[in-house]
A and B are shown apart, each in its own frame.
Chain A
Amino acid sequence: MSMTGSVPGTDNRGIRELGAEEKVGWDQVQQGVVLPSFEGDAADIAHQKAEERHYADFNSYTATVASWRVLKPVYNRDICIDCQNCWVWCPDTSIISRDKQMLGIDYDHCKGCGVCVEVCPTNPKSLLMFNEAEENEEALSEWPQKEKKAK
């Protein structure tokens, strides 16, 4: 089941559990385990938004591949300055941003590495790691205050 739905622009993401694809016989598998990324001509793919692309069945874009995450980043919109640092550094394209505005985290692909928290420059940070089981609302209510500068 998708964990992403609430973040705009991720409607088609993470709809399948990994391994839920149709199982075909040896005679029908793709030669050399070559997996096409998109359906049809993809020459213009770089100019399309992710939600506009026709991803192929085996593209992990449409699968939820984050079940082994233990700690998750939680995003605090009230503090974020939309600097895009986390978007640049995320190794799994799991920071969702549109028109240079940070929208949230794609929990179907985020593995919980914490790089986004590390590179966040605000005070306090706009992204912090919390236990996977903790509700995001609860996490936001516990957010730390701005640290005073040492004199």
Chain B
Amino acid sequence: MAKEFELNEVEVWDGNYAASQALRQAQIDVVAAYPITPSTPIVEGYGAYVANGYVDGEFVMVESEHAAMSGCVGAAAAGGRVATATSSQGFALMTEVLYQASGMRLPIVLTVVNRALASPLNVRGDHSDMYLGRDSGWIQIDAFNAQEAYDLPLCAFRIGEHLDVRLPVMVHQDGFTTSHKAQNVYPLKDDVAYKFVGDYVPVDEMLDFTRPVTHGAQTEEDWHYEHKAKQHKAIMDSKTVIDEVFEDFKKLTGREYKRVETYMMEDAEVALVLLGSSVETAVLAAKQLREEEGIKVGVVAPRCFRPFPYDLVREALDVPTLKAVCCLDKSSPGGAMGALFNEVSAAAYTTSSRPMITNYIYGLGGRDFAMDEAKRIMKEQKAHADAGHITTNIQQFSGLRGPKLGFYETRRS
């Protein structure tokens, strides 16, 4: 029997330690992991809990991230609660197996500490690994600070393991800005946290010898399409369960999560849409700009990156006063507009307010995104609003040295 870990009402934890504590409290059957910066302390912390008797499950050290996720797939198919952690290049190496996990409908939890993808090699935080996962069929939930990096893995087990969902879930946090920044975190007691997560309910488990099953079957053109459609419906419909689990978590802790977080959008004339730790920067900048210059700025932050909250993004942007929106993508789009820009634009296009929307690429490889730059971008949106048309390139780069870089101009006057 696992020992109870004594916790204070408030602890000073960074995002990594917060995530590792949440994994410990979920009493996972198998963690197969291969540590990588900046998520290493999640695996390290979990290994220490196992060695010191705080976890009953197995901790499997493997030779690569491909093997880590493969071990997770095997253990989940066998019928256990399973989780692991990774970042960046490790995430990229896992990618093949991520698609196996979601197609096989195995509710694995993956805590991802977002980091740039090489080349050039870089250990700092951006969202290129998170974006790499966006068609993988995993639910992707984003934590903006250490408290959320603790809370959301607990929710992730409940969401993924729900019998109406049965899909793997990633919980993202930003490399270093969240993962290595110590903040006040209010943890639950072990028994309370475990009760919230609940006992694992296996489905079609391979260790049920009364009902042998084949996992990972091959299908060709006569079956593959129907299976992918069923899987897509499951992740699209998971929004109901996500909302329910967030509601239950609020009842337990008072901490409220939504698939799309909105700040000061009620009367907003301009807004930023962004993800991760930059959300808190943007919210503070918006508050100050409202006070300093009276510009009505709001912020929209998809908590849930997948399933993409088309319904709630549209709701958030369907504000009669809203004129100009900027979507910020912290991943190099490699020859396109940013993914967040594309998806938010598509949702906003079907609203009656249909605001002007522009795109900034920012923060690549951990380039700092601070208050002044957030305010500058907000003021630029206000200039679009006042002019009645987009006055800059539609896609621009924030915080970049050298000549101004931008692409495309509006054809709306």
Contact = CB atoms under 8 A, between A and B. Distances in A.
Given A31-B105, A32-B103, A26 B230 contact: yes
A27 interface: yes
Interface in B214-236: 214-217, 219-220, 222-223, 225-227, 229-230, 233-234
Contacts of B103: 32-33
B204 interface: yes
Contacts of B212: 36-38, 42, 45
A36 to B, nearest CB: 5
A29 B212 CA distance: 18
Interface residues of B, number: 27
B213 A33 contact: no
Interface residues of A, number: 20
A33 B210 contact: no
A35 interface: yes
B229 to A, nearest CB: 4
Interface in B347-364: none
B168 to A, nearest CB: 11
Contacts of A25: 226
B215 A34 contact: yes
Contacts of B229: 26
B210 A42 contact: yes
Nearest to A24: B226
Contact of B213 (A36, A43, A45): A36
Given A26-B233, A31-B105, A31-B166, A36 B226 contact: no
22 contacts: A19-B222, A26-B227, A29-B230, A31-B105, A31-B166, A32-B204, A32-B215, A33-B103, A33-B104, A33-B217, A33-B219, A34-B105, A34-B215, A35-B213, A35-B214, A35-B217, A36-B204, A36-B212, A37-B214, A38-B211, A38-B212, A45-B212
